[in-house]
Chains A and B, each alone.
Chain A
């Protein structure tokens, strides 16, 4: 079965750029989505189709996908961005989520 691998944790200082990676075989051939989940809350879509932002998502969130790695980038990270982030892609009509990355804003 297809797997997506994320680092368990990433730390960033306020105002700096955070990068969260998601790796999978030939991931660049698929579209990747990213979801943000804050403690006690439901997930929120922050990036779809590799790099598109839904309405209401700040411009500091961006995404890219090439080769075997997709990346979620948060520019000018704010304390409110502290959350778990999950990447997601499709493989043969099956949705696959990465294990999640806890972003800590120190």
Chain B
């Protein structure tokens, strides 16, 4: 059974940093791209970014709203994807979901974690 478990959320002050983790199980983690999607309270889904598998160079793509502040990385030996968030803003407050990505002609997010809440407030 595919499982994705996010951790690391919490309350953080504006301008500070936070690192989220996504621990995967039930599939060969290294074969898949992984993505982060967030949802502000009462709002819709917003894509944050993704990291390709090592077979595709392990490269990353980001939404314009987080580019330069957020970094996605992966540790295939531990089956963990990370989201490093720097220079946090109040508008980054959201539930952050980790997703598995199926890379085909156009990728899709086939499994989602339960999410972890990040609150940016002074």
Contacts and interface: CB of A to CB of B under 8 A. Distances in A.
Contacts of A49: 104-106, 108
Nearest to A30: B106
Contacts of B61: 93-94
B92 to A, nearest CB: 17
Interface residues of B, number: 24
B45 A100 contact: yes
Nearest to A99: B44
Given A86-B44, A93-B61, A31 B106 contact: yes
Interface size class of A (residues with CB under 8 A): 20 to 34
Interface string A19-32: 00000000000110
Nearest to A34: B108
A1 B67 CA distance: 15
B44 A44 contact: no
A92 B97 CA distance: 22
15 contacts: A37-B45, A42-B115, A43-B97, A44-B112, A45-B110, A49-B104, A49-B106, A88-B109, A93-B61, A94-B64, A95-B37, A95-B63, A97-B45, A97-B46, A98-B44
Enumerate the 8 nearest inter-chain pairs by beta-carbon distance, A residue then B residue, closest first. A95-B47, A31-B106, A48-B108, A100-B44, A42-B112, A97-B45, A33-B108, A93-B61
Interface of A: 1, 30-31, 33, 35, 37, 42-45, 48-49, 54, 84, 86, 88-90, 93-100
